[in-house]
């Protein structure tokens, strides 16, 4: 599975957009980009995933560059409850057992 | 809502004890996973199972075994607990198939301390 690189930490003001970057320069054609987050003392939670098109759901938007070597997760109006560690993961579409390889993630702190 | 439950939120055991961590999911998922999470090391996959009685080693299987006798239940076993197995243990489950939408659903975690 392709390796990802994320900044270890970021701050964001409450109500502003949080833009979390992820580099995955060795991603291959059959690999999807997934984002999960982990709020303190809880298990990780799925946010969104994409292949090459931008995606949006009720939680966030995912922007993937045209060459697919990087992506950005956008939380449009961050709240204090969005404070968490955010993980960017790439994995093949057909992956026995649906394995995920978690990196270190980005610790997002949303401040009032 | 998918629910993944773990038998204990906190557990304290002594070195050398046999420890069972239980995980149950209620969504008929084929895949189940055990991770451990440690500061600075992130989540690491211990074992996973993609069907009843099937198991595959993850990245750090040493010192652990697993059991999947029923589809909804996946047990992690520490045959002889050691202090370096003090950690947060997370269970997850997911559907299989060819869909890319194989999101994993996680339980709340068990914080195990081995004294």
C-beta atoms of B44 and A102 within 8 A: yes
Residues 6+ apart with CB under 8 A from A67: none
C-beta atoms of A95 and B102 within 8 A: yes
C-beta atoms of B104 and A100 within 8 A: yes
Q: Which residues of chain B make contact with A94, given a CB cutoff of 8 A?
A: 98
Cα dihedral A89→B97→B36→A78 (10° resolution): 40
Q: Does A95 touch chain B (CB under 8 A)?
A: yes
- Per-residue pLDDT tens digits of chain A, which is 112 residues long: 568 999 999 999 999 999 999 999 999 888 899 999 999 888 999 999 999 989 999 999 999 999 999 999 999 999 999 999 999 999 876 665 667 888 889 999 999 9
Q: Which residues of chain B make contact with A9, given a CB cutoff of 8 A?
A: none
Say if CB B75 and CB B18 are below 8 A apart. Answer: no
Q: pLDDT, tens digit, for every residue of B68-94? A: 999 999 999 999 999 999 999 999 998
Task: Find the closest chain A residue to B97 by CA distance.
Answer: A94
Task: Find the closest chain B residue to A103 by CA distance.
Answer: B42
Q: How far apart are CA B92 and CA B34, in angstroms?
A: 7
DSSP A25-68: TT--TTEEEEEEEE-TTS--EEEEEESSS-EE-SS-EEEE-TTS
Residue A26 CB neighbour total at 10 angstroms: 12
- B/e letters for A39-73, b = 16+ CB within 10 Å, e = fewer, are eeeebbbbbbbbeeeebeeeebbbbbeeebebbeb
C-beta atoms of B96 and A93 within 8 A: no
Place of tokens 């109500």: A15
Q: Does B28 touch chain A (CB under 8 A)?
A: no
């Amino acid at each position: 599975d392709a390796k990802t690189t994320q900044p270890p930490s970021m701050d964001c003001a409450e109500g502003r957009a949080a833009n979390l970057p992820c580099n995955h320069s060795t991603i291959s054609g059959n690999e999807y980009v997934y984002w999960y987050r982990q709020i303190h003392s809880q298990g990780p939670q799925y946010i969104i995933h994409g292949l090459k098109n931008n995606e949006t759901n009720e939680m966030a938007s995912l922007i993937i560059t045209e060459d697919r070597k990087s992506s950005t997760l956008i939380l449009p109006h961050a709240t204090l409850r969005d404070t968490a560690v955010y993980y960017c993961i790439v994995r093949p579409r057909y992956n026995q057992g649906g394995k995920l390889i978690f990196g270190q993630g980005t610790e997002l702190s949303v401040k009032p | 809502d998918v629910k993944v439950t773990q038998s204990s939120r906190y557990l304290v055991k002594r070195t050398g004890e046999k420890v069972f961590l239980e995980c149950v999911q209620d969504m008929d998922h084929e895949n189940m996973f055990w991770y451990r999470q440690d500061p600075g090391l992130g989540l690491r996959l211990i074992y996973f199972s993609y069907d009843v009685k099937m198991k595959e080693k993850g990245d750090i299987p040493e010192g652990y075994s697993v059991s999947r006798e029923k589809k909804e239940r996946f047990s992690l076993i520490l045959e002889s607990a050691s202090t370096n197995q003090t950690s947060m243990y997370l269970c997850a489950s997911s559907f299989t198939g060819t869909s890319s939408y194989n999101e994993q659903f996680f339980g709340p975690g068990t914080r195990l301390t081995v004294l």
